[in-house]
Amino acid sequence: MMLGNGYASSPASRRRRGRPRGGGGSGYGFWQPQSLHHHQQQEISPVVPPCTEFDMAYFRAYSHIGVHEEMLKDRVRTETYRAAIMRYQHLISDKVVLDVGCGTGILAIFCAFAGARRVYAVDASEIAVQASEVVKENNLSDKVTVLLGRVEDVSIDEKVDVIVSEWMGYILLYELYMAPVTHADRYRESIDFWRDVYGINMSAMLPLAKQCAFEEPCIETISGENVLTWPILVKEVDCYTVTIQELESVTAKFSFSSMLRAPLHGFAFWFDVVFNGPANYSSNHHLQPPLGSLVDQQSHGSSQSKKRIKSDEGIVLSTAPEDAPTHWQQTLLYLYDPIELQQDQKIEGSVTLSQSKENARFLNIHLEYS
């Protein structure tokens, strides 16, 4: 990532220290390719994408228990999903549910607790073997069926009423915010260290240190005190209506005004997920909207984000710096060299997030600023 001259372009895999992300439920092809049966006005035969070597490596990574331990220990994530499932229990009770990318099966089990008649839990990783055992140990085999394979390939011989999935990755395009940040401690730790190493001037290491520290997006936890301006909403996605094409490339222009005098060290990205239920959707849809659809949280014509939705209107899973930390943390694009900002100074530019042509699970980030 070259940011020193106001430009960034970087392939950033949606990965974690222990958890690669980018979607669940696609896998090894243990099942003959057959489409799921979705109720539509007319049947459309979907084009099943091939399972690539990139996909295989991705799914193998999810076989490691540490990936799932990290997610399960994220109480903000797990308890918010449980609260949303129980809030909309009336939509799940006596219904057929599909859990895409089920992992250890916890969301599928939550749905069974909510009264689902049948839950199909699909995962392409070998963790599905353990998920099946978890289901048995909790005496839910009569309700929860674990399927090992890609969601594109497995066969379910009945219509699905509800889809649940925890599919979000770093810097994901859901309700995605960005803001300029200052982070002197991070810069001092990674860069200024080389200026005096046990009394020895190692400044010759600075160019390499900056490249190694900042050439890729960094997944870190910052606080609200690091944020220099009100954030802007980069992209809002409604999972019920979004198309694949509109997520292949997302561009947003920004204009920030610094609220204080401080060095600009880079830009941070985070997201909110709102579980607001199906009230805004027509009742003639057979499929309920995914638990995780969004409502508009920004006034039209304003580039600054507004306060997130009240808890009595919808359940919010937030990864914002001012909220409780999650395993998603925040995604930071650091400048190689900080820029001293004055109070009320403008920062303008644009950011484009696009799907990598080489690997669909990678994300290219292009950022320009002045």
Query: CA of 190: how far to CAs of 24, 84, 206, 354, in Å?
Result: 34, 40, 9, 29
**Active-site hit among 53, 79, 158, 175:** 175
Quick check: 332 and 270 in contact, CB under 8 A?
Answer: no
Whether 158 is catalytic: no
340 noted as active-site residue: no
Please say whether the beta carbons of 135 and 144 come within 8 A.
Answer: yes
**DSSP designation for 60:** H
Residue for token pair 């995605």: 176
Tell me which H or E stretch contains 80.
Answer: helix 75-87
Nearest-5° angle of CA 191, CA 178, CA 332? Answer: 25
Which residues sit opposite 365 in a β-bridge? 10, 353
Closest CA to 160 of 320, 12, 280, 39: 39
Which residues fall within 8 angstroms of residue 153, CB to CB, at 6 or more apart?
A: 27, 29, 30, 31, 32, 33, 34, 48, 51
DSSP codes joined into one string, 263-290: EEEEEEEEEEEEE--STTS-TT-SSPPP
Of 70, 152, 166, 358, the catalytic one is 166
Q: Position of tokens 């900002």?
A: 341
Task: Please report which helix (H) or strand (E) contains residue 351, including its range.
Answer: strand 346-355
Residue 32 burial (C-beta neighbours within 10 Å; 0-12, 13-18, 19+):
exposed
Task: Dihedral sign for Cα 126, 128, 134, 139, please.
Answer: negative
CB 177 within 8 A of CB 271: yes
- Residues annotated as part of the active site: 166, 175
